[in-house]
Chains A and B, each alone.
Chain A
Amino acid sequence: MTINELLPGQKATIIKINKGEAARNRLMAMGITPGTSITILARHPFRGPVTVDLGNNRMAIGQEIARAIEVKPQ
């Protein structure tokens, strides 16, 4: 399952980031790392960004990245 499939309010743990090394490193440095618990705050319509809570840190993630982040729902 990937982030873009989660619904608002759902909690999940990041398992894997299916992106090239540069993008993966950038995401991990921003705190989007495997093992991190996330809560979906909102999904913007028309395949817009997904906003997530990473423990006091809010991030908006575009669809292309959201599709690449594998998660395990909690």
Chain B
Amino acid sequence: MAIIFIGQPNTGKSVIFNSLTGAENIVSNYAGTSMEISKAEVDWEGNKVIFYDTPGVYSLHTSDQAIELVNKLFQEEKIDLIINVVDASRLEVNLALTLELLEFSHPVVVALNQVDLAENLGLKIDSQALAGLLGCPVIKTSIHSRQGQKELKAVINSYLATGITGIKRSASISCTACANAGSCSNCSMGDDIMERSQRARIIAEQVVDTANNKHYGWLEKMQTLIDAPFPGVFILLLVGYLGFVLLLKSIQLAEGPLTALLQPLNHYIAASIKSLLSPGLLSNILSLAIPEGLIVPFTIVMPAMLMVSIIMALLEDSGLLPRYSVAFARVGSLVGISGEAVIPLSLGFGCRTPAVVASRMITRERERFIVITILSIVIPCAATLGILTSVIATFHVSPAIIVATMLITLVVLGLILNHLLPQEKLFVCELPPLRIPTWGNLLNKVKIRFTGFFTEVLPLLLVMSIAVRALLESGVLEHLYALEGISRTLFGIPAEALVAVLVTIFQRYLAPLILLHMTLTPREATIAIAMISLSLPCLPAAVMIIREIGARGLLKILGMGFLTSFIVGIGLNMVLPL
């Protein structure tokens, strides 16, 4: 037997799915959290029951990625029962989808979710009358009080016991509603979305009692403040800044103790490798690469990933995330990104590795690629910024030229990417009510997002660290010193500085350190540091990019990074006075 959960975005499908199946799906307070279909096979009182959780859809008759997924599931799998999760606080708009589902030949059960939220809004819903009008069971449920869980289980049990006849539903909507709508011909609604919406409105008017007092608590007051352009934008910027400070502090706090803790282990590993292998290149590479490959992930990546998972979960569950999308929509549109991209981009100034993870909050694939590319090439992380500043001070480089070059690159790169990857310009975003995140959900999310550190990030970083060390130890890079002529003509910098630029492939924050040991004119230093600042993602960020968008995505970004760096070098060489 197969049961499918369908509902509009942000109705709480995944919470009900998780509580019924014991699965651990990501749940958020914004539309579009689940972009995949989750499947859970459950031993349900001796029967094998398959549950499917689907991404939120407004209608099955419009077209987008989520709808295609749901329609495909209906075509490929035999579905026995539909559990339509409906948000009681937005009944009218949700019922339009219910009416559509009732046109299917599958039995439907309506889970009238978030009834507590509806009551806070002063809405009292007569679920029995609703069941009568729809001709299918309607069960009141609540995420917070777990209301309706037993009843929902009982309905599934009754369905299992008696089969398709267990849940009776009329072939069409009760004609009381249609008669009122004045459009009934034995309920031949067709698939016209507008007609269904009108019928949904009439049903909602019949079953919702709005005469109750609206509860206007501090969360609602806060919501009013945040949703106003002023002071909303400033509150959101402040929250974002606090998240950024929290991220930086947690990395700083963790780095020292974790390094001290790992030191004896690393010494032991290095000594063991040296004693096991005969002295030579391999012994050198492994004894350096393995401890290096452990230090960076544990001291920087691990605390950063953990903190970003917490920040992301808080922003998602509270309902703040879509508000970023709205408040910064205009700014983002200048470089072809939506407002919510502000979060990963600003986290990138702390550390770009977790910022790549944070880009997950952008559900549109093309936009996510644009954001990761901008993060990788343009945004300087805290480590880069620190060394950048010291290079600027050492060689008397003009900070204004560096900042202007970075801003111009950001806008130009954004515009080019936006042109190459055209996106839908139609911006409509639902603003869910603000909520207090629950501990259970918060921990669940952090757990799901953080497990990837041990299974994917750590092994990949270790392998790549060995590869990089092998390249550095082999002395291949020294051959590049022969490129003095080309380097001088194209970029106006010595080949040695060009090598520093190329080293950024491996360790972005090592590259400026190499520069510090050279004798460069301010002009040469400006070009070299600008080329380094606008080049490639560091190794941990590259690993995270592979994990998030695959190796092909990383290759594209690396190609664009090289190109950007070279163009910036050539451009500055042409523009800057000798």
Cβ-defined contact, B427 with A64, below 8 A: yes
Cβ-defined contact, A45 with B63, below 8 A: no
Bound complex: CA A39 to CA B426 (Å): 20
Is residue B194 contacting chain A, with contact meaning CB distance below 8 A? yes
Bound complex: CA A31 to CA B327 (Å): 22
Residues of B within 8 A of A61 (CB): 427-428
Residues of A within 8 A of B198 (CB): 33, 35
Bound complex: CA A34 to CA B192 (Å): 13
Is residue B342 contacting chain A, with contact meaning CB distance below 8 A? no
Residues of B within 8 A of A54 (CB): 93
Is residue B72 contacting chain A, with contact meaning CB distance below 8 A? no
Bound complex: CA A19 to CA B426 (Å): 10
The minimal Cβ–Cβ distance linking B208 to chain A, given in whole angstroms, is: 10
A18-44 CB contacts (< 8 Å) to partner B: 19, 22-23, 25-36, 41-44
Cβ-defined contact, B228 with A30, below 8 A: no
> A41 contacts which of B97, B227, B426 (Cβ < 8 Å)?
B227
Cβ-defined contact, B428 with A34, below 8 A: no
> A51 contacts which of B64, B93, B97, B326 (Cβ < 8 Å)?
B326
Cβ-defined contact, A55 with B427, below 8 A: no
Q: Mark B317-340, 1 if CB is under 8 A from A, else 0.
A: 000001001110110000000000
Cβ-defined contact, B193 with A59, below 8 A: no
Residues of A within 8 A of B429 (CB): 49, 59-60
Cβ-defined contact, B427 with A25, below 8 A: no
Residues of A within 8 A of B63 (CB): 22
Residues of A within 8 A of B330 (CB): 44-49
Bound complex: CA A14 to CA B575 (Å): 54
Q: A30-B58, A64-B426 are in contact. Are A57 and B329 (CB under 8 A)?
A: no
Cβ-defined contact, A59 with B428, below 8 A: yes
Cβ-defined contact, A60 with B427, below 8 A: yes
The minimal Cβ–Cβ distance linking A10 to chain B, given in whole angstroms, is: 15
Nearest chain A residue, comparing its CB with the CB of B330: A48
Nearest chain B residue, comparing its CB with the CB of A55: B92
Nearest chain A residue, comparing its CB with the CB of B230: A45
> What band does the interface of chain B fall in when counting residues whose beta carbon is under 8 Å from A?
35 or more
Cβ-defined contact, A25 with B61, below 8 A: yes
Is residue B39 contacting chain A, with contact meaning CB distance below 8 A? no
Cβ-defined contact, A59 with B430, below 8 A: yes
The minimal Cβ–Cβ distance linking A40 to chain B, given in whole angstroms, is: 12
Is residue B504 contacting chain A, with contact meaning CB distance below 8 A? no
Residues of A within 8 A of B327 (CB): 44
Is residue B89 contacting chain A, with contact meaning CB distance below 8 A? yes
Is residue A74 contacting chain B, with contact meaning CB distance below 8 A? no
Bound complex: CA A34 to CA B428 (Å): 16
Residues of B within 8 A of A15 (CB): none
Bound complex: CA A34 to CA B330 (Å): 27
Bound complex: CA A26 to CA B430 (Å): 13
The minimal Cβ–Cβ distance linking B101 to chain A, given in whole angstroms, is: 13
The minimal Cβ–Cβ distance linking A50 to chain B, given in whole angstroms, is: 10
Residues of B within 8 A of A23 (CB): 426
> B194 contacts which of A19, A33, A51, A60 (Cβ < 8 Å)?
A33
Bound complex: CA A62 to CA B429 (Å): 9
> B329 contacts which of A33, A35, A44, A58 (Cβ < 8 Å)?
A44
- From B59, B63, B89, B229, name the one whose CB has the most chain A CB atoms within 10 angstroms: B229
Is residue B249 contacting chain A, with contact meaning CB distance below 8 A? no
Cβ-defined contact, A58 with B430, below 8 A: yes
Nearest chain B residue, comparing its CB with the CB of A58: B431
Residues of A within 8 A of B58 (CB): 26, 29-30
> B227 contacts which of A34, A48, A58 (Cβ < 8 Å)?
A58
B248-268 CB contacts (< 8 Å) to partner A: none
Bound complex: CA A60 to CA B432 (Å): 11
Cβ-defined contact, A60 with B431, below 8 A: yes
> A26 contacts which of B64, B97, B121, B232 (Cβ < 8 Å)?
B64
- From A19, A49, A59, name the one whose CB has the most chain B CB atoms within 10 angstroms: A49
Cβ-defined contact, A35 with B428, below 8 A: no
The minimal Cβ–Cβ distance linking B431 to chain A, given in whole angstroms, is: 4
Q: Mark B177-203, 1 if CB is under 8 A from A, else 0.
A: 000000000000000011001100100
Bound complex: CA A30 to CA B193 (Å): 10
Residues of A within 8 A of B15 (CB): none
Is residue B165 contacting chain A, with contact meaning CB distance below 8 A? no
The minimal Cβ–Cβ distance linking B430 to chain A, given in whole angstroms, is: 6
The minimal Cβ–Cβ distance linking B87 to chain A, given in whole angstroms, is: 9
- From B59, B232, B427, name the one whose CB has the most chain A CB atoms within 10 angstroms: B427
Nearest chain A residue, comparing its CB with the CB of B118: A56
Cβ-defined contact, B229 with A42, below 8 A: yes
Bound complex: CA A27 to CA B431 (Å): 15
Beyond A45-B229, A59-B431, list 5 extra A-B contacts (CB 8 Å): A29-B97, A33-B193, A42-B228, A42-B232, A62-B425
The 8 closest A-B pairs by CB, nearest first: A62-B427, A31-B93, A29-B58, A29-B59, A58-B431, A48-B330, A60-B326, A33-B197
5 A-B residue pairs with CB within 8 Å: A22-B62, A25-B61, A30-B430, A44-B229, A62-B425
Residues of A participating in the B interface, judged by any CB pair closer than 8 Å: 19, 22-23, 25-36, 41-49, 51, 54-62, 64-65
